[in-house]
Amino acid sequence: MSTFSGSSMFGLDELHLIARGIGKHVYELITVANLPASQGSIFYYTNEDGTKNSADYPFYINRNDLKSIGESIAKSRKYIPTSFQGSFDNVIEKTDGTRHVDWLDILLSCIHTIVVPYIEDAATKKALLSLVKGCALSLQWNLTEHMLNEIQSHFEHWLKYLARQVDQKKLSRSVFRPVQHYLTHIPFIIRRQGPLRAYSTRSMERSIGVFSKLIKSKRSGGKNASNLIERLGLQSYISSVLDIEMLINLIKPATYSTNSYMNHPEDRNGPQLWEPFSMVTINADSVIEGVSGGRLVKAVKRYYLRSNSAAGSVDFNNLKITLASRLWMNSTIFSSSRYRQFRNETSRGNHHVFFSALDNRQRERWFVGTVLFYFKHVLLDSSIQFLAFVRVMKQHSTASFDSSIPIVKRNIPVLEQRGETITQEKYAVINIYDITLQVGLIQSILKAIQGSYEKIDAQIEEAIYLEPSLLYRTSHIRKDDTNSILASKAL
């Protein structure tokens, strides 16, 4: 066949190779303590006398720590945006119903944030991080030759590590499943076929899921499936030639209108602020989203002084703003605490953002915060600013075992958790263009260093989970002389 191009013609499916294949495989490697002895020992090296070498197993995590990992995943769900397709259920406790996208989120968000810290061996940590970074890079839409070489380097490091563990009689050869071998072919396939996501089976699997739920017949399943395909095909065709939404517009109220959003005056095709709106005048007695008017005015002053943008054109004694609840920017919907209260949303978190801002020395820093609300501010010279009022996380750092993994801390003291003290929150006003992207937070509970406390007394720390592309960019951030992290545009 003239179109046959060899092995690259068939491509590699990221959903089955990386999500279901590698994601599930890594999960099995780290959860041997929860498995019966006959199943968990499959990865242990078998000695000549037939006994299993479990003492030197490099991926071992005890049951109590696995339980903590599972609890952390479940507790993190309310901090994860809905744009992340995984359910973030406690897969340590139960894997029934776990989907491919769930395994992918476990691999790309949980392994390097809350699993690796429980691994004792430094070489094992580094190998797992290389695997995660290689998989994260492989799922990008835009890839350069440098990135493809880096993917190859990460996977080679991971596979060479596994080979050393086998040679040192710490790991069984059964760890080398076919999916491990296929990893080495990813750069080649991408060079020949393009990004893995371009020919992923996600759409097909989703369609299979739709048909599987609709097929009800127990005797004539084939006929049932055939009728469904015909019916859905007709519906799809009708929808392609007729605008059903427009046809029923007379009997169905419009979901939104031009009054539902505001375009940025300097970029009509750019960011938009979305309803509900509210016009307010800020004074000393004002309280907006639980924040006093005085603190809000102070944050606005700091913003204009920090950005050197027309601070003299602001009437701080009569600060009039238009509150907004959502932001649409770069094909992403950013929510806010204001909108969450309006819709009574509690299950997921779409209002955490990663942004950059200048510090007191006019140096750009990265921060993570919770957006309380967005607002439009009209200056005295009639220029317009689209801004966000953010509660900033109190500490920003990186993981001790890898500086590419950002960590933020809410830093809640023990006494505050007991209700005896209240720590003042830190707020900031930022321009919407300072927002780099929406983030999710993977929560982990770390006990205090000194003394023995109950779980309620633990410090709360959250490791940021960003889009997979940022895992690549984090490997290139650098430290300045104050040991803080600098980032160009994104982590």
Output the pLDDT for position 482.
23
Mean pLDDT of 159-171: 96
By 3-state DSSP, what share of the chain in percent is helix, strand and coil, each rounded to 5? Answer: 45, 20, 35
Q: Is residue 337 part of a domain?
A: yes
Domain boundary among 203, 218, 233: 203
Preceding amide of 276 cis, omega within 30: yes
Phi/psi of residue 16, each to 5°? Answer: -90, -35
The span from the CA of 22 to the CA of 162, in Å, is 14
**Exposure string (b/e) for 243-280, b if CB count within 10 Å is 16 or more?**
eeeeeeeeeeeeeeeeeebbebeeeeeebbbbbebeee
Q: What are the C-alpha distances in Å from 473 to residues 217, 315, 406, 423? A: 51, 40, 11, 33
Enter the pTM of the model: 0.82
- DSSP label at 111? I
Mean pLDDT of 327-339: 93
Contact 172/46 with Cβ under 8 angstroms?
yes
Q: Is residue 435 part of a domain?
A: yes
Q: Is residue 231 part of a domain?
A: no
The span from the CA of 110 to the CA of 99, in Å, is 16
Contact 441/465 with Cβ under 8 angstroms?
yes
The owner of tokens 């770390």 is 446
Query: Domain range spanning residue 457?
Result: 278-486
Output the pLDDT for position 260.
92
Q: Is residue 225 part of a domain?
A: no
List the single range of 31-40, 202-211, 270-279, 332-341 with lowest mean pLDDT. 31-40
Q: How confident is the model at residue 157 (pLDDT cuts 50, 70, 90)?
A: very high
Q: What are the C-alpha distances in Å from 6 to residues 12, 82, 188, 280? A: 13, 40, 12, 66
Query: What does the H/E/C string look like for 448-461?
Result: CCCCCCCHHHCEEE
Beta strands in 186-275, from DSSP E residues, in sequence order: 261-264, 267-274
Within 10 Å of residue 12's Cβ, how many Cβ atoms? 22
Q: Is residue 249 part of a domain?
A: no
Total domains in the chain come to: 2
Output the pLDDT for position 310.
61
Output the pLDDT for position 391.
94
Helix axes 186-193, 122-138, angle to 10 degrees: 10
Whether 309 and 192 map to the same domain: the answer is no
- DSSP label at 8? G
Contact 161/133 with Cβ under 8 angstroms?
no
Q: Is residue 491 part of a domain?
A: no
For residue range 81-108, list pLDDT tens digits in order: 988 888 899 999 988 889 999 999 999 9
Q: What are the residues whose beta carbons fall under 8 Å from the beta carbon of 398, sequence distance 6 or more?
A: 404, 405, 406, 407, 477, 485
SS3 299: helix
Output the pLDDT for position 221.
79
For residue range 359-376, list pLDDT tens digits in order: 777 788 889 999 999 999
Whether 185 and 291 map to the same domain: the answer is no
Output the pLDDT for position 122.
94
Q: What are the residues whose beta carbons fall under 8 Å from the beta carbon of 317, sequence distance 6 or more?
A: none
Q: Is residue 78 part of a domain?
A: yes
Q: Pick 316 or 298 by higher pLDDT.
A: 298
Whether 304 and 192 map to the same domain: the answer is no
- DSSP label at 35? S
Whether 331 and 446 map to the same domain: the answer is yes
pLDDT higher than threshold 90 for residue 149: yes
Whether 41 and 169 map to the same domain: the answer is yes
Whether 62 and 176 map to the same domain: the answer is yes
Domain boundary among 203, 226, 249: 203
Whether 139 and 48 map to the same domain: the answer is yes
Strand partners, 320: 281
- Mean of the per-residue pLDDT values of the chain: 82
For residue range 46-71, list pLDDT tens digits in order: 888 888 888 899 999 999 999 999 99
List the single range of 277-281, 316-320, 449-453 with lowest mean pLDDT. 449-453
Contact 339/388 with Cβ under 8 angstroms?
no
Nearest partner of 350 among 69, 72, 75, 77, judged by Cα? 77
pLDDT higher than threshold 80 for residue 422: no
CA-based end-to-end distance of the chain:
46
SS3 58: coil
The span from the CA of 164 to the CA of 154, in Å, is 16
Classify the C-alpha dihedral 329-330-336-342 as positive or negative: positive
Maximum Cα interatomic distance, the chain, rounded to a whole number of Å: 85
Whether 162 and 69 map to the same domain: the answer is yes
SS3 423: coil
Mean pLDDT of 20-39: 88
Q: What is the share, in percent, of the chain residues with pLDDT greater than 90? A: 44
Helices (H), 365-436: 414-417
Whether 318 and 186 map to the same domain: the answer is no
Contact 136/155 with Cβ under 8 angstroms?
no
Whether 290 and 162 map to the same domain: the answer is no
Q: What are the C-alpha distances in Å from 283 to residues 110, 120, 273, 304, 374? A: 44, 54, 23, 18, 18
Q: Pick 244 or 271 by higher pLDDT.
A: 271
Segment holding 317, helix H or strand E: none
Output the pLDDT for position 188.
93
Whether 16 and 156 map to the same domain: the answer is yes
Q: Is residue 147 part of a domain?
A: yes
- DSSP label at 47? P
What strands, in cross-sheet order, belong to the sheet with 459-465? 395-399, 402-409, 459-465, 440-446
| 454 alpha carbon, distance to own chain's centre | 30
For residue range 436-472, list pLDDT tens digits in order: 989 988 887 553 323 332 333 334 455 555 444 444 3
Whether 158 and 292 map to the same domain: the answer is no
Q: What is the DSSP string of 226-240?
A: HHHHHHHHHHHHHHH
Task: Tokens for 6, please give them.
Answer: 């060899």
Domain boundary among 172, 203, 234: 203
Task: Tokens for 237, please give them.
Answer: 């065709």
